[in-house]
Chain A
Amino acid sequence: MSQPEQNSALPEAGTRRRGSGYHWSTPSASRIAPYLQVAPISAVFLFFFLIPVILVIVISFFNYQTYDILIPDFTLMNYQDVFSSSVTYKTYWTTVKLSFIVWAVTLVLGFTISYFLVFHVRSRSRQVVLLLLCTIPFWTSDEIRMISWIPLLGRDGVVNNFLLATGIVKQPVEWLLYSQFAVVLGYVHLYTVFMIVPIFNSMMRIDKSLVEAAVDAGAKGWQVVLNVVLPLSKSGLAIGSIFVISIVMGDFVTVNVLGGGQVASIGKEIVTDLSSLQFPPAAAESMVLLAFVIMLIAALVKIVDIRKEL
């Protein structure tokens, strides 16, 4: 858990080197200095992450009634409810499936777009402008996005009218909106940028002379991409994957809006519990989800050592 935060505290390898120089010159201060450096983030982490999570763990063992929402207790009932229900497994299956599809699509898109930005766009300012354009989906509120998908994908929407007019279909296509397809589309539309930024970041650091050397050594374009650019972008790919997977696994807004409330997701199940003031089962479900996502990310980090790659 402390890995990403250390990384963010030390954004550049150069800073670290400079810091270690300082380290050798004054050995007494050096022992306290790193602790002071991590103190602010640790405090934030403690108060706004660790303590709340511990509270959620405690509450997940509480009992509850309609009229008494938190009854201190130690019961496994909430976890039994989670694991004994076939709906839990089905929901996890749906969520994992959606996450996987979204991950694969955003990975390809993110890599391609970043590659274009880094290796084809020459001017630095144009790169920044184009990168900022990728954040456009976040410029509107959920409400606006919710409404604006209807005229595009709806039964009487632009896409359906086009398909009907060109005779490709005879009946309006229903699955364009309020379906798993729509949910995936919404995720890709929103979260590709989380893939682009870290991949862009790692590609920018690739020494251009490596590419030149590869070309000089006779590598073809695709060989350069496959053997030079791809391996050196691995950390960006891994960080982007962590973003996308953890966001999609926990999402309950997009899935609700574009799934027409009918597509299952774990986040949505938790929200339904919370809405009905059923905090202990919501806490238990949150813990199960947290454990699941941590395992996924641990596996990912195992494959790509992000710290080494940075």
Chain B
Amino acid sequence: MSDNNRKNEGNEHGGLSRRGFLKGVAVAGGVAAIGGINGIPSVRASEPVVLRLLGTGVTHYKEIADQAKKDLGITIEFTTLNSDDALKRAITQPSSFDLLDTEYFALKKIIPSGNLRGMDVKRIKHYEDIVSIFTTGKFNGRMVSPQGTAPFEVSYLDGEFGRKFSAKPTEWMTVVPTVYNADTLGIRPDLVPRPVSSWADLLSPDFKGKTAIINVPSVGIMDAAMAIEAMGKIHYRDKGNMTRGEIDKTIDILTAAKKQGQFRAFWKDFNESVNLMASGEVVLQSMWSPAVSKVREMGIPCKYQALKEGYRGWGIGLGIPSHVKGKTLDAAYEFINWYLSGWAGAFLSRQGYYTAVPETTKQFMSPDEWGYWMDGKPAIGSILSPTGQKVGAPGSIRDGGSFDQRMGAVACWNTVMDEDRYLVRRWNDFVSA
């Protein structure tokens, strides 16, 4: 209410205009309404439960929190940080949140701290239906690429409060997957003079001064490795876990490219990548699927180009910190079960992400949406983003095709390497060179 009071005071000082008065009334009404909603006891919990969710913002949509409130009576408070800061918080201040959404590669740093508890798979309702990429590491009967931090390698713990990963599925899961995707290069088809078909084009002189790279070592090095391997300059034993020699060679090639003016910019933040692309400063760069959608929503052509070497995969999951117990723990499980039950999955699928339990997601999407996003079929009507903007015209096909085509072609995963410390030092050299 104090905000409301302040607002009215402000109006008195400035003279009570009609508009200001109306605004004051609206604010008063809004505050009253919120107060009212909070006052109503929720259906399931005897008193309102609040879950503080820390994460990177990939899945932090107000709509999801609102729907969870409606369906479960649980209030979700998002703390949204960039992936580096979220990880830092997860390790240094675990008691500041009740749920964590984290990238799979970051688990290699979080689990040894003991800050996450294993999640009992028996309490996860749709556990059996979770896409096998995360449980057995198989996709359509084939093992997924082990290069980088493949999610199944870090999906299980050796005990409820274990600090070690289990190579085989156990009853304790580190995190329950929420979204994942296959990333590739985004291009501006109107500004790219020739077809782009390989990761090598990221370093091709044809696009000199018009490419960008992400300045997060765990991700940027994988994009660079895909490009360098495609050029045939280095054959990595495992590009997701390079040796010092391989890191050195990779950084040398990148530094040389930088000095020749190959890159227009390095970016770290989702919005930066959108701006670079939308303004045409950059015509080819590694992008995230919603960033491509966002550029398109502005009416600017942008293509998420499938490449012959395959995709860089990543995944995010929800985990529960060790300190959570009792009613909050129950609520956390309840929220995660709700997450897998379809509504949230459908919402996030419309952003271009994939969800952990496609069966439930399908029930919340129209056949046309499902056909476009998952089956790679041409759209019948317009395809809309969750916020109602058009991202695909009738007849258009999702870049890269179907779920099976895209996830089946993941060649490596975002990663934390054994030589992480050395990599970060050398990455710094590259950025400063």
Instruction: Considering the complex, give the chain A residue whose CB is closest to the CB of B419.
Output: A66
Instruction: Considering the complex, give the chain A residue whose CB is closest to the CB of B87.
Output: A277
Cα–Cα distance between A287 and B113 once the two chains are bound (Å):
27
Chain B nearest CB from A291 CB (Å) reads: 20
Instruction: Considering the complex, give the chain A residue whose CB is closest to the CB of B111.
Output: A67
Chain A nearest CB from B359 CB (Å) reads: 36
Establish whether residues A275 and B84, one from each chain, have CB atoms under 8 Å apart when the complex forms.
yes
> Given A87-B432, A146-B272, are A154 and B263 also a contact pair (CB < 8 Å)?
no
Inter-chain contacts of B424 with A (CB < 8 A): 272-273, 276, 278
> Given A66-B416, A68-B112, A261-B266, are A150 and B429 also a contact pair (CB < 8 Å)?
no
The listed residue (A91, A178, A269) touching B264 by CB distance below 8 A is A178
Cα–Cα distance between A41 and B432 once the two chains are bound (Å):
38
Cα–Cα distance between A178 and B275 once the two chains are bound (Å):
13
Instruction: Considering the complex, give the chain B residue whose CB is closest to the CB of A90.
Output: B432
Answer yes or no: A117 CB below 8 A from chain B CBs: no
Instruction: Considering the complex, give the chain A residue whose CB is closest to the CB of B163.
Output: A67
Establish whether residues B264 and A69, one from each chain, have CB atoms under 8 Å apart when the complex forms.
no
Interface centre among A85, A143, A272 (most CB of B within 10 A): A272
Cα–Cα distance between A264 and B259 once the two chains are bound (Å):
13
Establish whether residues B421 and A66, one from each chain, have CB atoms under 8 Å apart when the complex forms.
yes
The listed residue (A81, A147, A174) touching B425 by CB distance below 8 A is A81
Establish whether residues A264 and B431, one from each chain, have CB atoms under 8 Å apart when the complex forms.
yes
Answer yes or no: A23 CB below 8 A from chain B CBs: no
Answer yes or no: B1 CB below 8 A from chain A CBs: no
The listed residue (A67, A81, A174) touching B109 by CB distance below 8 A is A67
Establish whether residues A154 and B421, one from each chain, have CB atoms under 8 Å apart when the complex forms.
no
Chain B nearest CB from A267 CB (Å) reads: 11
Establish whether residues B265 and A65, one from each chain, have CB atoms under 8 Å apart when the complex forms.
no
Establish whether residues A143 and B271, one from each chain, have CB atoms under 8 Å apart when the complex forms.
yes
Chain B nearest CB from A294 CB (Å) reads: 23
Establish whether residues A147 and B431, one from each chain, have CB atoms under 8 Å apart when the complex forms.
no
Establish whether residues A276 and B84, one from each chain, have CB atoms under 8 Å apart when the complex forms.
yes
Contacting residues of chain A (26-84) with chain B, CB-CB under 8 angstroms: 64-69, 81
Chain B nearest CB from A295 CB (Å) reads: 22
Instruction: Considering the complex, give the chain A residue whose CB is closest to the CB of B420.
Output: A66
The listed residue (A64, A87, A90, A269) touching B421 by CB distance below 8 A is A64
Inter-chain contacts of B433 with A (CB < 8 A): 87, 90, 264
Contacting residues of chain A (257-310) with chain B, CB-CB under 8 angstroms: 260-262, 264, 268-269, 272-278, 281
Answer yes or no: A98 CB below 8 A from chain B CBs: no
Establish whether residues A174 and B421, one from each chain, have CB atoms under 8 Å apart when the complex forms.
no
Establish whether residues B432 and A264, one from each chain, have CB atoms under 8 Å apart when the complex forms.
yes
Answer yes or no: B125 CB below 8 A from chain A CBs: no
Cα–Cα distance between A269 and B424 once the two chains are bound (Å):
10
Chain A nearest CB from B83 CB (Å) reads: 9
Cα–Cα distance between A108 and B261 once the two chains are bound (Å):
33
Establish whether residues B428 and A260, one from each chain, have CB atoms under 8 Å apart when the complex forms.
no
Query: What per-residue 1/0 map shows which CB atoms of B89-124 lie under 8 Å from chain A?
Result: 001000000000000000011001100000000000
Instruction: Considering the complex, give the chain A residue whose CB is closest to the CB of B280.
Output: A156
Establish whether residues A66 and B109, one from each chain, have CB atoms under 8 Å apart when the complex forms.
yes
Query: What per-residue 1/0 map shows which CB atoms of B257-293 lie under 8 Å from chain A?
Result: 0100101111110011001000111000000000000
Establish whether residues A261 and B215, one from each chain, have CB atoms under 8 Å apart when the complex forms.
yes
Query: What per-residue 1/0 map shows which CB atoms of B20-54 lie under 8 Å from chain A?
Result: 00000000000000000000000000000000000
Cα–Cα distance between A273 and B427 once the two chains are bound (Å):
10
> Given A147-B275, A178-B265, are A272 and B431 also a contact pair (CB < 8 Å)?
yes
Cα–Cα distance between A274 and B89 once the two chains are bound (Å):
12
Answer yes or no: B126 CB below 8 A from chain A CBs: no
Interface centre among A91, A178, A264 (most CB of B within 10 A): A178
Query: What per-residue 1/0 map shows which CB atoms of B73-90 lie under 8 Å from chain A?
Result: 000000000001101100
Chain B nearest CB from A69 CB (Å) reads: 7
The listed residue (B258, B268, B280, B432) touching A91 by CB distance below 8 A is B432
Instruction: Considering the complex, give the chain B residue whose CB is closest to the CB of A86.
Output: B429
Answer yes or no: B371 CB below 8 A from chain A CBs: no
Inter-chain contacts of B215 with A (CB < 8 A): 261, 272
Establish whether residues A262 and B84, one from each chain, have CB atoms under 8 Å apart when the complex forms.
no
Inter-chain contacts of B267 with A (CB < 8 A): 261
Cα–Cα distance between A64 and B88 once the two chains are bound (Å):
14
Inter-chain contacts of A274 with B (CB < 8 A): 84, 88
Establish whether residues A66 and B108, one from each chain, have CB atoms under 8 Å apart when the complex forms.
yes
Which are the 3 A-B pairs with shortest beta-carbon distances?
A: A261-B266, A260-B265, A264-B432
- Given contact pairs A66-B418, A151-B279, A276-B420, enumerate 19 new A-B contacts (beta carbons under 8 Å): A64-B421, A65-B421, A68-B112, A94-B432, A146-B272, A147-B275, A150-B279, A150-B281, A174-B209, A260-B263, A260-B265, A260-B266, A261-B265, A264-B431, A272-B217, A272-B431, A275-B84, A276-B84, A277-B87
28 A-B residue pairings within 8 Å (CB atoms): A65-B421, A66-B421, A67-B109, A67-B112, A81-B425, A85-B425, A87-B428, A87-B429, A87-B433, A146-B272, A146-B275, A147-B275, A150-B279, A156-B280, A174-B209, A178-B264, A256-B268, A260-B265, A261-B215, A262-B258, A262-B265, A262-B266, A262-B431, A272-B431, A274-B88, A276-B84, A276-B420, A276-B424
